[in-house]
A = this chain, B = another copy of it.
Amino acid sequence: MERFLLSAVAALGVAAAPPPKPPTLGDIVNAARADEWQRVDPDDLMLVELGDGSRVAIALAPDFAPAHVANIRALIRAHWFDKGSIYRVQDNYVVQWGQGDDDKAPPQGLGKALPAEYDRAAAGLPLTPLPYRDTFAPKVGYSGPFPAAADGARAWMAHCYGIVGVARGLTPDTGSGGELYAVIGQSPRQLDRNIALVGRVLDGFEHMTARERGTGALGFYEKPEQRVAITRVTLAADLPTEARPAYEWLRPESASFAQWLLGANHPR
């Protein structure tokens, strides 16, 4: 019926002023002011280099899991991840990397038990809320570049696409951070507050997500040759200044982010 009415107006040649064209998401991002952007701290920028020459950039989240992030920084500097591999790719779930060997413990005491950083005090954590709750929490939104949720006095990072977590065994194991995973499918939000989440992938995630799925239980690769070699993992802070890649996020508390969010939630 609407189509008929529109056709009729066109046929009559009615010269109405066209409605203002809404900005695209790209327009909104491009128009954001410099002070609405914030650069990822080089101490929190983890760079995973793979055997095929590709690189995956990850923003670490010390505000959510300070002890795990500190341990991951130490593991990087102890070269734990170098010569490790991607050894698990489970469809609609996770890609996982590290040494992937239950008999190998991180060196220099870095494999020890850490506090269960599965959530934290909501107080002191900036959280720009979405205008609605979701299925898993009464308050959801963004804290810096990270999706976050809160329920009264507690807050936590939300298990979304590209979020990086710490693989662990059964409780009371909390994981050392020596084996990490990233979400490559539907957000497994049922894991929220059960695992330490330590960051999110910023760039190059396609070099992890497009990998062959593992055919072993839980998506582990069954043959050693399926593993994707990691050649080097570094913190940007440890690279010469001129070699550090720079990533910025649009502050969730900015006016441009609010405008972007409104657009992103409407099909176009």
Chain A residues in contact with chain B, CB under 8 A?
3, 89, 91-92, 132-135, 160-162, 172, 184-187, 190-191, 194, 205-206, 209-213, 264-267
Contacts and interface: CB of A to CB of B under 8 A. Distances in A.
Contact of A186 (B187, B205, B264): B187
A3 B91 contact: no
Tell me if A's interface is mostly helix, strand, loop or mixed.
loop
Give the oligomeric copy count: 2
A166 to B, nearest CB: 15
B91 A206 contact: yes
What 9 A-B pairs are tightest by C-beta distance, nearest first? A206-B213, A161-B186, A134-B135, A91-B206, A194-B267, A3-B172, A92-B161, A210-B213, A210-B212
A218 to B, nearest CB: 12
A187 to B, nearest CB: 6
Contact of A211 (B160, B184, B185, B210): B210
Contacts of A212: 206, 210
A259 B3 CA distance: 47
Given A210-B213, A213-B206, A190 B267 contact: yes
25 contacts: A3-B172, A91-B205, A91-B209, A91-B210, A92-B205, A132-B135, A161-B185, A161-B186, A184-B185, A185-B185, A186-B186, A186-B187, A187-B187, A190-B264, A190-B265, A190-B266, A191-B267, A194-B267, A206-B212, A206-B213, A209-B213, A210-B210, A210-B211, A210-B212, A210-B213
Contacts of A211: 210
A57 to B, nearest CB: 14
A266 B211 CA distance: 28
A266 to B, nearest CB: 7
